[in-house]
Amino acid sequence: MALCGGVGAMALPSELIVHIFSFLSDRDKLRASAVCSRWRECLFYPALWTELKLRIGGGCDRGGSSSDETSRLEFLMRKFGSFVRELQLELAPVEGYLSPLNNDPSSARMDQPPGPESDPQLSERWRDAMATYLDQVLCVFTSIRNNRNLQRLSLYGDTCILQQEGLLDSSNLHQIHQGDKKINEIQQLFMELLSNSRQLRWLSCSFMLGLVTPCSLACLSNPSAETLQHLSLLDHQLGPLISPSELDRLSNLHSLALDFSDLTSELCGLLASPRRTPLHRLSLLLNGAALEFKPLEGTATEDDWKALVRVSTNLRVYIMALEVDSMELLRVLKPSLPLERLHLDSYSTLVTDATLELISQQYNKTLTHFLLLRDDPDFPDLSVNRNEDPLVLLAWRCTKLAVLVIHGYTVWSHNLVAISRLRGSSLRVLTVSEESIDFDPDQAVCMEGDPVHNLVKEVSLGLGRVWHPCLDSSLVLSEPTQHFHRELHAFSMGM
């Protein structure tokens, strides 16, 4: 916009400058604040900082030292921590070897990260990253603990940081200087924050290395207990993070995310109470590695699900089953469970054709998203015979299916064409890795031209849009709990 008479941007009213700066990212705002004192004054206007998205820890991959990053974080939180309305805090992976967000996402799945004692150099990097993490989390919670205006708090920690034989805990924090003391301080500050809050509507905590304890929710203030609409508590701890009495206080929840083993029959009964606001979204993580310590005994029964659905008629459920065999899945997938999204993910555990048959029959009216992923060099064939593929039957029966993602199982090309024709344009996402696709040699004899080209053409015609197989399996495979954390947020916000 040209200004008359050679008047520069400095002549603009402060209100207009603040409005223009509202379109900048947090990082760009901080950079712009160094231009001049006028811009600095405008950029630190509270209205520009009602929402903060922070990524902490992870070493020095953004340039500069971890102490520089901590100093910037301290400055930012000192300025805005007391009045920010929405805060999203994510723990970055340790630079160089624990990174599901790096350039090779499949590496985080294919090779389990070494423990901190397996290599001296990695051990030192691990300790440095954990020390930085603790200091920065302390900084954040120290600044927001008295914030009464906080409405949304979303916390996510990289699960690979403390991976010990498939389970996560905070037992190694004693190796960090004052680690036990700092984690106790962080837990105390978190409870103070919950106690001081007055209008919290969204509280999500996923894998934050022992931040939430079974006592944390007891500190939530009564006003926030009334206003809270979304609660997500995901952790690989051995005990549940929410008690029946605490859930009973949260009478206005619209969405909830828990470990499947923590959804007991008693909790499900409380959610089915007619005195409560009906529940709309329920996200459940079933981790096979934890079932030895958190068995499924005592979880919601078929009668519990029926009672819940009677009260919450619009309830939809999202389940991720991570490294769970078919026998356990059959125990979990109750007929009355209103399943909308199902993600079956494993490194080696097989899903059987009988399980897929059950899914397609029981959830034919509700299932919209189905992800079947397996990160193993073998690609088993789920078909009893090539004319009765369970994935084709699923596409035929599940009339609302909109997202289908497959990797790690053999999908015959003619069955893939059948799926595209059955669902057509209503199948918004069809992602199948190239390695998963196989071609029937008997059919290839009767067809002319390149079989891959013919497949692409036929599937594209079936879907009514251009389609190609996924050439890079790393685009299909992601760190599963991180994927679940992000998808459940989109699922819960889509009410």
Kindly state whether residue 436 falls inside one of the protein's structural domains. Answer: no
DSSP 222-271: HHHHHH--EEEEE---SS-S--HHHHHH-TT-SEEEEEGGG-BHHHHHHH
Rounded to the nearest angstrom, the gap between the alpha carbon of residue 179 and the centroid of all alpha carbons in its chain is 27
Q: Which long-range contacts (CB under 8 A, 24 or more apart) does 462-467 make?
A: 462/417, 462/419, 462/420, 462/421, 462/424, 463/420, 463/423, 463/424, 463/425, 463/427, 463/430, 464/424, 464/425, 465/425, 467/420, 467/430
What residue type is 13 in one-letter code? Answer: P
Nearest to 142 by CA among 196, 105, 222, 100: 196
Whether 27 maps to a domain, the answer reads: yes
Could you give the maximum distance between any two Cα atoms of the chain, in Å?
80
Task: Quote the tokens at residue 44.
Answer: 């630190």
Q: Please report the pLDDT score of residue 110 as a whole number.
A: 34
User: Which of helix, strand or coil describes residue 372?
Assistant: strand
Neighbours of 103 (CB within 10 A): 7
Write the CATH number for 21: 1.20.1280
* pLDDT, tens only, 207-222: 887 788 889 999 999 9
Residue 119: what pLDDT? 54
Of 253, 247, 265, residue with least CA distance to 227 = 253
pLDDT tens digits, residue range 291-324? 877 888 889 999 999 999 999 999 999 999 999 9
Contacts of 356-363 with C-beta under 8 Å, sequence gap 24+, read 356/382, 356/390, 356/391, 356/393, 356/394, 357/390, 357/393, 358/330, 358/333, 359/333, 359/394, 360/390, 360/393, 360/394, 360/396, 360/397, 360/398, 361/397, 362/333, 362/335, 363/337, 363/339, 363/398
Work out the number of other CB atoms within 10 angstroms of the CB of residue 360: 21
Question: Mean pLDDT of all residues in the chain?
Answer: 82
Residue 21 lies in domain: 12-48
| Strand, coil or helix: 205 | strand
Predicted local distance difference test score (pLDDT) of residue 462: 96
* Ranges of the chain whose pLDDT falls below 50: 1-6, 60-64, 95-117, 161-169
- pLDDT reported for residue 65: 55
Q: Is residue 20 part of a domain?
A: yes
Give 488's contacts (C-beta < 8 A, 6+ positions apart): 232, 257, 283, 318
* Structure-token pair, residue 333: 């997938």
Q: What is the predicted pLDDT for the residue at 459?
A: 96
Q: Quick check: 407 and 373 in contact, CB under 8 A? A: yes
Q: Flag whether 19 is in a domain.
A: yes
Instruction: Name the DSSP letter for residue 199.
Output: S
Answer yes or no: is 406 within a domain: no
41 part of a folded domain: yes
pLDDT digits (tens, 9 = 90+) for 63-73: 445 677 778 88
Q: Please state the domain count of the chain.
A: 1
The answer as to whether 302 is a domain residue is no
Q: What local confidence, expressed as pLDDT, does residue 183 receive?
A: 85
**Tell me, what amino acid is at 209?**
L
Q: In this structure, is residue 167 part of a structural domain?
A: no
The answer for residues whose C-beta is within 8 angstroms of residue 168's C-beta and 6 or more apart is 159, 162, 207, 209, 235, 236
DSSP assigned state of 187: H
**pLDDT at site 238:** 66
SS3 321: strand
CA 91 to centroid of chain Cα atoms = 13
